[in-house]
Every structure is written in C-alpha cells, then in structure tokens.
C-alpha cells in the first residue's frame, strides 16, 4: 500500500532540499486530502510561506500519479488525491490480502511474550481489573496481526498471605460446593475474622513457612485450592474470549533454590541488606525511585518470601525465554513497583520487560474494591448487558441464539472499555456502558450485518472497472487506505482508543452512504458493482480492525 504522506513528504524534501516536512490532514474537506504548512520551509530564495506553497504547486511531481493536483491557500500547499488511482489500488489490495490487509508483517514472525491480567486467585475479576485483560488482549491481538508469534503469559499468585488465609478459611468453614463463588464467600468470611483476630494472621504466616519448607501435604492443599480458583477465573475469561498460553505458579519458585540464588547474587553485588527485624531488602539508593526509602523488601522476618522476589524470579524466567520482545500490562498503581523491580533486574544484569500501563476504572467516582463493596463484577456486568440485549430483541420480535448474544455482549463491553485512552481514568457508569446507541459495539456490528445483507442478495461478479463519484465513497476509500498506517501507529502508541475511533468513523461513513445512495437498486451495473466491492472492502477492514480489539462479528441479527 502506498504511504501517501511519505510520498508527499519525500518529494518536497527533494524539491526544497530540507529534511523535515509536516504532512497533515487539513481540517476541512474543501482544503484537499493532504496538506503541508509551509512556515517552516521558508528559505532565502522563498522567504514567504505563500511563495513556498506556490513553488511546491509549480514543481511537485508524483511518480506514483496518486496526487492529482496541488492547491495553494495562503501558507498551505493542499494536495488532492486522484481517487481513480487510489480506489482501484485500495480495493484490489483488500481483495487480495483479505484478513491480513493492514498488516505490514512488522513482526517478521519473531517470538513475542506478553504477560497480562494475573489476578490474585482469591478475587473474582471486576470491571477495573478487567481493563488489564482487555488492553492485554488488544495488544496480543495487535502483535499477532502484525506478524509476531505471540505467547500470552499468566502468573498465578498461589503463595500469598491471602491464599494462606483462604486455606485456613476452608479448613474452618468447609466448602459447600466446589465452585468459585463458594470459595470467594469463604474468603470474605475469613478476612472478616482475621481483622478481628490477629492469631489468624500469625497462622497464615506459619502455613506459608510450612509450604516454603517443603511440607508436601500443605503444598498440595494450597495448590488444590488455587487451581480451583484459577479455573473459576478462566471460565469468566473464556466467556470474554480471552485466552492464555502459559500459566506459571508463584510457588514454582520457592522449591528449587530460585530464591536463594537471587539472594546470593544480590549479596555478591553488595546490594542485599538485612534490617533489625531480620528482613532481607535490596538497597536501591543508586536508582532514582520515588519511594520514601530506597529499598525493596524481599522477605518477612521469618525469611519467608514476599511477592517481589518471586516476581523477580518469574520475570527473569520470562526474560530468559524472550529477551527481545517482552511486555507486561500493569495498572498505573504498579508503576513505582515496576521501577523497583526493573532496578533489581538491572543489578542482576537483566533488562526489564516493557511496561504497558493504564489508569484506574472508577465506579461513579469511587475506586472499585471488593472489600468496600464499590465493585461491578465482570459476571454481573455480562448478565446485565445480556438482559438488556434480550429485551431489545424482544421489543422487535426477534430472537437471538446464545452464541450471537455472547458475541454482541463482548462487543459492547470491549468497545466501551477500549474507547478510552489508557492513561485516562474510566468513569464507569453501568447505564452508559449498557447503552447501545451511537459509539457502541452494537452500532458497529449492526452496520456490518447491513452490509452482509446487501452482499448476500447482490453477488459481486467480475472485476471490471471501478467507478466512484459520490463524496461518501471517497471518504470511505480514503479511510480504508489509511488503515495500514493506523495499525503501524498502534504499535508505538499502544492506544486502543485510536482503533475504536477509526472503526466508529469508518462505520459512520458507511451508514451515511447507506442512507444516501442506492446500492441494490442502482441501474448502472458498473456503479453497482463498484459499490458492492467497496462494501465488501469496508466490511473486511472492519472485521480486521475488530479482530484486533478481540471482537467477533455476526452474520445477521
């Protein structure tokens, strides 16, 4: 695919012997398709930006013949595309490349490792935590789409204090059913007990110590319970169509001298210290980390391991597995922690994974927390969305099967959640999130269904000349031509909202076109075929873009 911005930029660089040219999309349609502001291009011969613009107009030549003409408006040189050339090129390219259109195979099939989600086993995913999964899945899909060989990792924190408490809770209260929610009920109960009774906390430390000392029976109890929890979590992620390739247990690192090796290495570097309570910590005073004390504590007083040291062991494992493309998705609350981990890795001679960070999800202005009751669980949210969808279908006397209902529901959740920039806080409002009008997943899928219907009743035959005269057609073609650039940009910005906005924009242009222009009823066969092929291309690009968001489409509603 031709990169039009690059073509224009390169030509002007050559023409004016400069090395920096800004090519942008002008604010209004009557200003052309692409535009170059000429202020910065002034030189001794052409001291006035308007003169520069005129010089460009008079001397610009495009070897690809995709630029039809150049207009000058004040200090701007505006470029008009030859849509006959562009449209046939874009449509043909989409027809040839199909589900790979948009990819420039940036990954060259290289392996890429990404860790995301990794929720504590004792917690059910809520909308806040879920943002990690959605962004992680988006990035994974993006890397896969652009030709990386992606491996999705999930770290199971099966050895924390909370898990120990859960083990104690099940010992105390038993388990009515083997399902996830019964386990969570027990956890809530035992947490309450623990806040009243300090002996329970001490007991949890004892249990952890037993595990780390290799008590087989205790190890087995921990493992059995956490595995049940993870199974419960994965059931929810399956529903969201989010999957993982490799699961690693925190406990895997306490048995085989992993942790003592790390302590020894830090000792050898002179960075391991022990405080008056007997805890081991790393001295990070050589690094600029905004914590009150420049330390990272690795063990409790009884020398059992804290999470960071196990995370370091795990991360080293990941780095050894893939040093070149190694990513982790974490909330902004973990940024300083990540700096600490990176510093320790640096001391040990390892690079840190690349951080993809995102902000919180607030529920009506409050942080979601399981204990505070300010939480929307993914399961509840899914149920809510599905109920609303069912009602809408009933109103129209339509039916929908479970499979399609799940696809629509996921489209709704994913589009809403990914439509906000990563670093921005999401103010989650259940009513807004379950609304299906305007910028929503339903709007997109609905329009694809319309395209399906037209294409089903009007076969595309032959590959005769394409002819586009309508403004709406040109808008869609231009957007289609920009998709590969956008995907490339996503690799650096990691910004899902750029993609959701593109998808919405393209869909909206189609919807206007659909309203204004005859397709099935067009009597001119060339125009009709051109339009059908355009719709086919629009649908293909929408499907490709949605697949990066992790959204599937449905045939009909």
Nearer to RNA, 144 or 450 (CB): 450
Pick the closer one to RNA by CB: 379 or 421. 421
Residue (256 or 520) nearer to RNA, CB: 520
Q: What minimum distance in Å lies between the beta carbon of 148 and RNA?
A: 23
| CA 521 to each of CA 201, 458, 463: distance values in angstroms, whole numbers, following the listed order | 74, 10, 20
275 binds RNA (CB under 7 A): yes
The one among 27, 63, 270, 373 contacting RNA by CB under 7 A: 27
Nearer to RNA, 115 or 148 (CB): 115
**Helical H segments across 60-213, by residue range:** 83-97, 127-145, 161-173, 180-196, 198-212
Q: Pick from 336, 351, 403, 469: which binds RNA (CB under 7 A)? A: 336
Distance between CA atoms of 191 and 183, rounded to whole angstroms?
A: 12
Is residue 46 helix, strand or coil? coil
CB 175 within 8 Å of CB 183: yes
Which range of residues in 135-143, 448-456, 478-486, 536-544 is near RNA by CB under 7 A? 448-456
Binder of RNA out of 31, 85, 355, 543 (CB under 7 A): 31
Q: Does 454 bind RNA (CB under 7 A)?
A: yes
Could you tell me the smallest distance in angstroms from the CB atom of residue 429 to RNA? 6
Strand extents, DSSP E, 412-460: 426-428
Task: Please spell the DSSP secondary structure of 286-322, one letter per residue.
Answer: TS---SSSSEEE-B-TT-PBPHHHHHHHHHHHHHHH-
Sheet holding 280-283, edge to edge: 272-274, 280-283, 295-297
CA 452 to chain CA centroid, Å, is 27
Region 282-301 residues binding RNA, contact defined as CB under 7 A: 290-293, 295, 297, 300-301
Pick the closest to residue 490 from 87, 144, 1 (CA basis): 144
Q: How far apart, in whole angstroms, are the C-alpha atoms of residue 534 and residue 466?
A: 9
Distance CA 418, CA 439 (A): 12
Instruction: Please report how close the Cβ of residue 456 comes to RNA at its closest, in angstroms.
Output: 7
Considering only residues 215 to 254 of the shown chain, the ones binding RNA according to CB under 7 A are 250
Show the binding pattern over residues 178-217: x = contacts RNA (CB under 7 A), - = does not.
Answer: ----------------------------------------
Name which position in 453, 470, 485, 486 contacts RNA (CB under 7 A).
453
C-alpha span between 75 and 48 (Å, rounded):
8
CB nearer to RNA: give 112 or 211. Answer: 211
Near RNA by CB under 7 A: residue from 427, 460, 524, 525 = 427
Contacting RNA (CB under 7 A), which of 449, 486, 491, 543?
A: 449
User: Which residues, other chains included, contact 537 with Cβ-Cβ below 8 Å and sequence gap of 6+?
Assistant: 90, 91, 94, 95, 480
Contact range with RNA by CB under 7 A, out of 171-179, 362-370, 371-379, 459-467? 362-370
Nearest to 322 by CA among 177, 148, 536: 148
* The one segment of 92-100, 136-144, 378-386, 446-454 that binds RNA by CB under 7 A: 446-454
Closer residue to RNA (CB): 32 or 169: 32
Does 553 bind RNA (CB under 7 A)? Our answer is: no
- Which 374-413 residues touch RNA, going by CB under 7 A? 389, 392-393, 396, 398, 408
Least Å distance, CB 9 to RNA, is 8
Q: Is 265 in the site for RNA (CB under 7 A)?
A: no
| Bridge partner residues of 557 (DSSP) | none
Considering only 128-136, 222-230, 315-323, 443-451, which stretch makes contact with RNA by CB under 7 A? 443-451
**Range 13-29 burial, b when 16+ CB lie within 10 A, else e:** eebbeeeebebeebeee
Q: What is the smallest separation between the CB atom of 495 and RNA, expressed in angstroms?
A: 6
Task: Give the footprint of RNA on residues 479-518 (CB under 7 A).
Answer: 495, 497-498, 501, 504, 508, 511-512, 514-518
Number of Cβ within 10 Å of residue 74's Cβ equals 9
Q: Judging by beta carbons within 10 Å of its beta carbon (0-12, 13-18, 19+), is residue 459 exposed, middle or buried? A: exposed
Q: Judged by CB, which is closer to RNA: 129, or 325? A: 129
Q: How big is the site for RNA, counted in residues (CB under 7 A)?
A: 96
* Given 120, 146, 210, 251, the residue binding RNA (CB under 7 A): 120
Shortest Å distance, C-beta 441 to RNA: 9
The footprint of RNA on residues 57-96 (CB under 7 A) is 73-76, 78
Closest to 150 (Cα-Cα) out of 554, 421, 550 = 550
45 or 398: whose CB is closer to RNA? Answer: 398
CB 344 within 8 A of CB 284: yes
Q: Give min distance, CB of 454 to RNA, in A.
A: 4
The distance between the two most distant Cα atoms of the chain, rounded to a whole number of Å, is 88
CA separation (Å) from 553 to 386, 543, 544, 546, 556? 16, 7, 10, 8, 9
Please identify, among the stretches 214-222, 252-260, 342-350, 421-429, the one whose residues bind RNA according to the rule CB under 7 A: 421-429
Whether residue 200 contacts residue 190, with contact meaning beta carbons closer than 8 Å, is answered with: yes
Q: How many CB atoms lie within 10 A of CB 210?
A: 18
Q: Which of residues 90-119 bind RNA (CB under 7 A)?
A: none
């Amino acid at each position: 695919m031709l990169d039009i911005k690059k073509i224009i930029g390169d030509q002007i660089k050559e023409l004016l012997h400069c090395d920096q040219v800004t090519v942008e999309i002008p604010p209004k349609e009557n200003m052309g398709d692409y535009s170059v502001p000429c202020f910065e291009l002034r030189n001794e011969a052409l001291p006035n930006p308007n003169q520069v613009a005129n010089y460009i107009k008079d001397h610009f030549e495009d070897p690809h013949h995709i630029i039809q003409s150049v207009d000058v408006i004040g200090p701007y040189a505006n470029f008009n595309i030859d849509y006959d050339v562009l449209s046939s090129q874009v449509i043909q390219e989409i027809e040839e490349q199909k589900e790979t259109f948009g990819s420039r195979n940036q990954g060259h099939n290289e392996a890429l490792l990404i860790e995301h989600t990794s929720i504590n086993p004792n917690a059910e995913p809520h909308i806040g935590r879920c943002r990690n999964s959605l962004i992680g899945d988006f990035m994974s899909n993006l890397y896969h789409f652009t030709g990386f060989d992606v491996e999705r990792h999930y770290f199971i924190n099966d050895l924390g204090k909370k898990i120990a408490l859960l083990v104690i809770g099940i010992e105390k209260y038993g388990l009515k059913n083997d399902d996830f929610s019964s386990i969570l009920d027990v956890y809530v109960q035992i947490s309450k007990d623990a806040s009243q009774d300090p002996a329970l906390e001490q007991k949890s430390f004892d249990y952890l110590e037993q595990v780390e000392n290799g008590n087989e029976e205790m190890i087995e109890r921990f493992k059995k319970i956490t595995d049940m929890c993870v199974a419960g979590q994965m059931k929810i992620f399956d529903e969201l169509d989010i999957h993982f390739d490799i699961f690693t247990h925190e406990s895997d690192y306490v048995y085989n001298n992993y942790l003592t090796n790390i302590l020894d290495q830090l000792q050898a570097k002179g960075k391991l210290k022990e405080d008056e309570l007997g805890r081991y910590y790393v001295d990070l005073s050589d690094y600029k980390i905004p914590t009150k004390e420049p330390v990272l504590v690795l063990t409790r007083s009884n020398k059992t391991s804290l999470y960071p040291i196990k995370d370091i062991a795990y991360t080293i494992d990941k780095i050894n597995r893939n040093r070149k493309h190694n990513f982790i998705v974490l909330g902004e609350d973990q940024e300083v922690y990540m700096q600490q981990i990176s510093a320790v890795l640096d001391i040990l001679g390892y690079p840190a994974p690349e951080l993809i960070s995102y902000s919180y999800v607030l529920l009506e202005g409050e942080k979601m927390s399981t204990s505070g009751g300010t939480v929307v669980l993914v399961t509840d949210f899914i149920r809510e969305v599905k109920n609303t969808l069912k009602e809408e279908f009933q109103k129209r006397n339509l039916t929908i099967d479970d499979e399609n209902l799940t696809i629509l529901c996921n489209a709704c959740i994913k589009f809403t959640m990914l439509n906000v920039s990563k670093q921005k806080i999401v103010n989650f409002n259940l009513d807004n999130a379950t609304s299906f009008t305007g910028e929503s997943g339903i709007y997109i899928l609905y329009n694809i269904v319309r395209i399906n219907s037209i294409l089903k009743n009007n076969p595309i035959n032959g590959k005769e000349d394409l002819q586009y005269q309508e403004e709406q057609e040109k808008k869609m073609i231009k957007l289609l031509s920009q998709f590969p650039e956008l995907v490339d940009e996503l690799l650096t910005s990691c910004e899902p909202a750029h993609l959701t906005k593109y998808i919405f924009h393209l869909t909206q242009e189609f919807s206007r076109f659909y309203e204004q222009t005859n397709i099935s009823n067009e009597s001119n066969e060339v125009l009709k075929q051109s339009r059908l092929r355009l719709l086919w291309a629009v649908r293909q690009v929408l499907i490709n873009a949605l697949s990066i968001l992790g959204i599937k489409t449905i045939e009909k509603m």
